[in-house]
């Protein structure tokens, strides 16, 4: 296989990912759901991962190419290996594209962050993606292809108050991305970090951004589809083109 950008023989025009398999975490809503829709529209068969079974079922019912729902709680240490195996079975083979969008946004001063907040941020932004890529890399290396897209954040480079757990773990995610790029250089495996600024999703619901002067109003945020477009663009570049990082903000 020469890489995800080359469509399968007989692929429909406009479906450069025809015949490809993708796994999207955080697919029950927001950026993950939008990314699943974009990858499916590009022709991929998508395995959609999150905890919310009903939302996943509704999404896969809407997607083309026999999308599948894989409910999973990614806080569990064994989730990455179980998901890698489950997706292989459900998709009928190794994935070509991974989008890790599952995340959490514990927006509060450190003294107000609970152990559960810290554990969730560490698990979703650091431990799970490292374990998941570790589970999939041997297959990617053997095939000489495979594309990992990690959803970072503006907070993977910038720091803001009330962001200790979020910024620390998103900085760690970016560090992991850069190390993995170095470790996979020349292998045919591609790694892209997509780092959006504030995006209008349910992740803000607990913080009432429209009512809080220090937060961006929803109307001033990116849309999840904007981020998903960037994901779709990155994974459809020719196989010799490696998009290291995309940083999105409102114009």
Ligand X SMILES: NC(=O)c1ccc[n+]([C@@H]2O[C@H](COP(=O)([O-])OP(=O)(O)OC[C@H]3O[C@@H](n4cnc5c(N)ncnc54)[C@H](OP(=O)(O)O)[C@@H]3O)[C@@H](O)[C@H]2O)c1
Using CB under 6 A as the binding rule, the residues of this chain from 154 to 193 that contact ligand X are none
- Number of shown-chain residues binding ligand X (CB under 6 A): 30
* Catalytic residue (choose from 105, 140, 166, 204): 166
Query: Mapping DSSP to helix (H, G, I), strand (E, B) and coil, where does residue 63 land?
Result: coil
- Alpha carbon of 57 to those of 10, 40, 45, 86, 231: distances in Å? 29, 15, 15, 17, 22
First to last CA, the chain: 38
The C-alpha angle 29, 32, 34, rounded to 5 degrees, equals 80
Alpha helices by DSSP H, listed for 112-235, are 115-122, 128-143, 164-184, 224-234
Q: How far is the CB of 228 from ligand X (least distance, A)?
A: 10
Is 166 a catalytic site residue?
A: yes
**Which one of 28, 145, 163, 236 is in contact with ligand X (CB under 6 A)?**
28
Could you give the string, one character per residue 111-150, with x where binding to ligand X holds by CB under 6 A and - elsewhere?
-------------x--------------------------
* 68-71 and 190-196 strand pairing: unpaired
**Which one of 23, 39, 189, 203 is in contact with ligand X (CB under 6 A)?**
203
What would the two tokens of residue 55 be?
Answer: 């939302």
Q: Which stretch binds ligand X (CB under 6 A): 7-15, 95-103, 138-146, 185-193?
A: 95-103
Strand partners, 247: 195
Per CB under 6 A, does 217 bind ligand X?
no
Contact 184, 177 (CB under 8 A): no
Query: Mapping DSSP to helix (H, G, I), strand (E, B) and coil, where does residue 118 land?
Result: helix
Per CB under 6 A, does 52 bind ligand X?
yes
Per CB under 6 A, does 31 bind ligand X?
yes
Per CB under 6 A, does 151 bind ligand X?
yes
Q: Which is nearer to ligand X, 54 or 183 (CB)?
A: 54
**Which one of 145, 153, 163, 192 is in contact with ligand X (CB under 6 A)?**
153
Contact 74, 135 (CB under 8 A): no
Per CB under 6 A, does 83 bind ligand X?
no
Q: Which residues bind ligand X (CB under 6 A)?
A: 26-32, 50-52, 55, 72-75, 101-105, 124, 151, 153, 196, 198-199, 201-203, 224
Give the residue numbers annotated as catalytic, written as ranges.
166
């Amino acid at each position: 296989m020469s890489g995800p950008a080359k469509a399968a023989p007989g692929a429909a025009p406009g479906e450069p990912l025809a015949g490809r398999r993708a796994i999207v975490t955080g697919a029950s809503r927001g950026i993950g759901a939008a990314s699943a829709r974009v990858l499916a529209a590009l022709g991929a068969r998508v395995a959609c991962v999150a905890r919310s079974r009903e939302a996943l079922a509704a999404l896969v019912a809407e997607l083309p190419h026999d999308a599948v729902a894989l409910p999973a709680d990614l806080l569990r240490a064994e989730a990455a290996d179980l998901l890698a195996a489950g997706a292989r079975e459900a998709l009928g083979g190794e994935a070509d594209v991974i989008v890790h969008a599952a995340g959490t946004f514990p927006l509060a001063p450190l003294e107000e962050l609970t152990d559960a907040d810290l554990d969730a941020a560490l698990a979703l932004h650091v431990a799970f993606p490292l374990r998941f890529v570790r589970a999939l890399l041997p297959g990617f290396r053997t095939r000489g292809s495979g594309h990992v897209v990690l959803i970072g954040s503006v907070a993977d480079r910038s720091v803001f108050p009330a962001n200790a757990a979020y910024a620390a773990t998103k900085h760690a995610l970016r560090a992991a991305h850069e190390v993995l790029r170095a470790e996979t250089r020349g292998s045919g495996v591609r790694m892209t970090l997509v780092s959006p600024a504030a995006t209008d999703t349910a992740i803000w619901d607990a913080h009432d951004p429209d009512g809080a002067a220090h937060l961006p109003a929803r109307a001033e945020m990116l849309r999840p589809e904007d981020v998903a477009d960037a994901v779709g663009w990155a994974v459809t570049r020719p196989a010799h083109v490696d998009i290291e990082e995309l940083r999105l903000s409102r114009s």
